[in-house]
Amino acid sequence: MQRAKYLTGGLDLPGDKSISHRYAMLAALAEGISELRHFSAAADCHSTLACVSALGPEVKIEKDAVRVAGRGLRGLKSSWRALDAGNSGTTMRLLSGILAGQQFSSKLTGDDSLQKRPMKRVIGPLREMGADIRARDDNFAPLEIRGAQLKPIDYNMPVASAQVKSAVLLAGLFADGVTSVTEPARTRDHTELALEEFGAAIEKNGRTIRIHGFASANGGGKLLAKSLDVPGDLSSAVFFIAAASLFPDSNILIHNVGLNPTRTAILDVFAAMGASIQILGPKVAHGEVVGDLSVKGSSLKGGVIAGEQIPLVIDELPMLAALGPYTEEGIEIRDAAELRVKESDRIAALAENLRRMNAKVEERPDGLKVSGRSAGKLRGAEIDPRGDHRIAMAFAAAGLAAEGNTVIHDPDCAAVSFPTFFQELNRLVER
């Protein structure tokens, strides 16, 4: 990456990863053919489609949409081979909830990175519901799931996690009664909104969500196929917001971005840092808020991200940390030990690569402190993203304002979430 002058132009993002995963899984459980337009091109979401297809539903990937012929809540069938989630923790954790309530056995596996990520946080509550799940060291994939009749539970989550919440709610579809999940802090609610769209009986009261099993008195009995539009991925927009903010003359317009209130905390963080972001034409479609984002160059102040903010911006923290050296005050991230068990140890990867670029970094067990502009200018360097898409994209954006060239090793890892990231970034950059 060579130093840029500014960013300019318009951008259409890939479909939101989180929403695409959930729509595909629920479409498989619905009756009829669902059309999912602007479905994510991310490798993770195609891992979900491959797993769904292996369980019986016919999946057609077309130019503008994905079509899933659902088989109903009791229509999935056993796969003759292991279901491969690739690098996708969302695929593995959410499918675990669905498979736990089936009438057959399944095996879920993934790549080397995914097999190092903890699964006990999902296995625990599913076992409380009666699931029969076996895992390597009782915590890691591959997972062997023997379908069972599930019972409803009232689950108080010890740690805020949208994936754990989603796994329990999806399992709750197959429980005989009402399953409730209470969050210690708010997390993204795409699963709840998607369940409502497909016709599940779900109720929300503060941080508690209740779902009626389909066979229970108020369960509704079935899910129905839908025709849905997936909004652009806000987490992918963040790299362009950050890059544009670094240059006074930047002016970009990002179209059709998902602006779900449980995801827009990152925009609040940017605003507090002094970023110039304007939301244009917001509207609600299929329960999700969608709009355009106008981003202009600005001078960033920095700040502290901690506490209840963390689960709401967990995917965006790598980009915020990489911005630290360009801010007035620096960036401090606390209460984010979860970063150590993502696709890589993101805290260690951030600290290592920021230091390569001449940044002053204090690494901590649950976060890091990155000094601001007064600590010196960033220099271009060779970046090792450790196979982690968000590390690669964060340093590609940060490298645009560094002195000298920045080389991102293994850039193809970005395809996990954004296959055309580097092409789009280069298209917007003026040098």
Write the pLDDT tens digit of every residue in 109-154: 999 999 999 999 999 999 999 999 999 999 999 999 999 999 999 9
Count of beta carbons in the 10 Å neighbourhood of residue 292? 18
Average pLDDT of the segment spanning 10-14: 97
Q: Return the structure tokens found at 233.
A: 């991925």
pLDDT tens digits, 40-63:
999 999 999 999 999 999 999 998
Query: Which residue type occupies 420?
Result: T
Q: What Å distances lie between residue 134 and 79, 141, 392, CA to CA?
A: 17, 9, 34
Average of pLDDT values for 165-174?
A: 98
Q: Is the dihedral of CA 145, 51, 69, 90 positive or negative?
A: positive
380-415 tens-digit pLDDT: 999 999 999 999 999 999 999 999 999 999 999 999
Give mean pLDDT, residues 236-252.
98
Concatenated DSSP letters of 194-209: HHHHHT--EEEETTEE
List the Cα angle 83/85/89 in 5-degree steps: 135
The answer, as to whether pTM is greater than 0.85, is: yes
Distances (CA, A) of 280 to 7, 189, 289, 331, 336: 19, 22, 12, 28, 32
pLDDT for 416: 92
DSSP type of residue 14: P
- 369-384 pLDDT, tens digit per residue, is 999 999 989 999 999 9
Residue with tokens 């998902």: 258
| Segment 337-361 mean pLDDT | 97
pLDDT value at residue 64: 87
- Between helices 265-272 and 234-245, what is the axis angle to 10°? 10
Give the model's pLDDT for residue 220.
66
Q: Kindly name the residue from 16, 315, 384, 388 that is annotated as catalytic.
A: 315
Stretch 299-321: mean pLDDT, rounded? 96
Mean pLDDT of the chain, nearest integer: 96
**Beta partners for 258?**
290
Q: Per the structure block, which two tokens stand in for 363?
A: 């690494």
Would you say residue 217 has pLDDT above 60? Answer: no
Average pLDDT rounded to a whole number, residues 256-263: 97
What does the pLDDT average to over 335-362?
97
**What was the pLDDT predicted at 431?**
87
The pLDDT assigned to 219 comes to: 59
pLDDT band per the 50, 70, 90 thresholds, residue 221: confident
Q: Is the pLDDT of residue 328 over 80?
A: yes
Domains defined for the chain, CATH in brackets: 6-15+231-430 (3.65.10.10), 17-229 (3.65.10.10)
- What distance in Å separates the CA atoms of residue 195 and residue 27, rounded to the nearest whole number? 10
111 as an active site residue: the answer is: no
Quote the CA–CA distance of 190 and 27 in Å, as a whole number: 14
> In the prediction, which pLDDT does 174 show?
96
Provide the pLDDT for residue 1: 83
Model confidence pLDDT, tens digit, residues 266-297: 999 999 999 999 999 999 999 999 999 999 99
